[in-house]
Amino acid sequence: MAKRIRVVRVTFDRIDDDFVLTRNAPDRTAPLADKRIHLIGAGAVGSTLADRLVQAGAGKGRGQFHIFDPDRLNPENLGRHLLGVTYLGLNKAEGVAHYLKRNRLAMNVKGHALSGAQADMHRDADLVIDATSAPNIGAMLGNTARTLRRWSLMYVFVEGEGWVAGSYLYRGRAGEACRNCLEPWIGGTGSHVRKTYEPKPRDNGCGGSYTPYRAAAADIAAALASELACDWATDSVVNRYRSVRLPNAPKHVRDGYYSSPQSKVDCICGEPQANSSAKKP
């Protein structure tokens, strides 16, 4: 009598990085893997961007992904933040890093409960991303980037009450407009909002103020920035400035556009840096 053999059928699903990260990329690569990326600001825009960057390889391979934000996640943040109620009360940067490790298996991600406003924190970065919309941090990073030319700097922003979303890349190459040349502040040539039409912040009832905009504007800004970061990583950037005007923006808001702004005459960003240690992606 033949011996009965029990057969157990086992199936496997791939979940390795090479499969997850490259199957949806047109060129079958994860461009941000192996890069050292510092993201400053883990609010509505920064948290969504962090998720998209990891889906393009950030925090994978030999790369490092550092996220900076000193603030805690509060109930008023839930309407447009990546994180939900289970993260309430936790630091935003540390919470986003935890989320990315747990849900995206990005093990080389670290959150820092710090502003990231000290330039020497970013000494080893390849790409620094400013998602704070804080003028003082933007100015500090912009001045450092054009002086040292050691890392590339990307801004990601929402203007007005979600009227425009955009991103801008400065690589420190001679002739590329720096932040000062771009004048991204309201009323500046690089702003879509004229000075007399700037939105009025609303009182949040706890002594602070905020500018309302829907989560979709943050999503669009994050999407533009994640694509720009991928183009940076593959050294295939066509337009370094990319902005989108949302359809419900008031008439006075300038249209979005794609371009590569050049240095203004007399700005030091127009000159080659003799001691530059700027590196290509």
Closest approach, Cβ 182 to Zn ion, in A, equals 8
| Residue number with CB closer to Zn ion (181 or 253) | 181
CB of 167 to Zn ion, least distance (A): 18
* Closest residue by Cα to residue 162 from 187, 135, 133: 133
Rounded to whole angstroms, what are the CA distances from 193 to 130, 186, 245? 20, 6, 11
User: Cα separation of 222 and 49, whole Å?
Assistant: 5
Shorter beta-carbon distance to Zn ion: residue 174 or 267: 267
Q: Rule CB under 5 A: say whether 269 interacts with Zn ion.
A: yes
Radius of gyration of the chain (CA): 21
Q: Is 153 one of the binding residues for Zn ion (CB under 5 A)? A: no
Instruction: Closer to Zn ion by CB, 216 or 268: give it.
Output: 268
For position 267 contacting Zn ion by CB under 5 A, the verdict is yes
Taking the complex as a whole, how short is the minimal distance between the CB of residue 266 and Zn ion, in angstroms? 9
Nearest to 43 by CA among 1, 9, 77: 77
Q: How far apart are CA 58 and CA 247, in angstroms?
A: 32
Map the footprint of Zn ion across residues 170-199, applying CB under 5 A. 178, 180-181
Q: Which residues contact 53 (CB under 8 A, 6 or more apart)?
A: 32, 37, 39, 59, 65, 226, 229
Q: Which positions from 225 to 264 touch Zn ion by CB under 5 A, shown as an x/- string?
A: --------------------------------------x-
Binding-residue total with Zn ion (CB under 5 A): 6
Cα 179 from Cα 226, distance rounded (Å): 19
CB of 178 to Zn ion, least distance (A): 3
Catalog residues that contact Zn ion under the rule CB under 5 A: 178, 180-181, 263, 267, 269
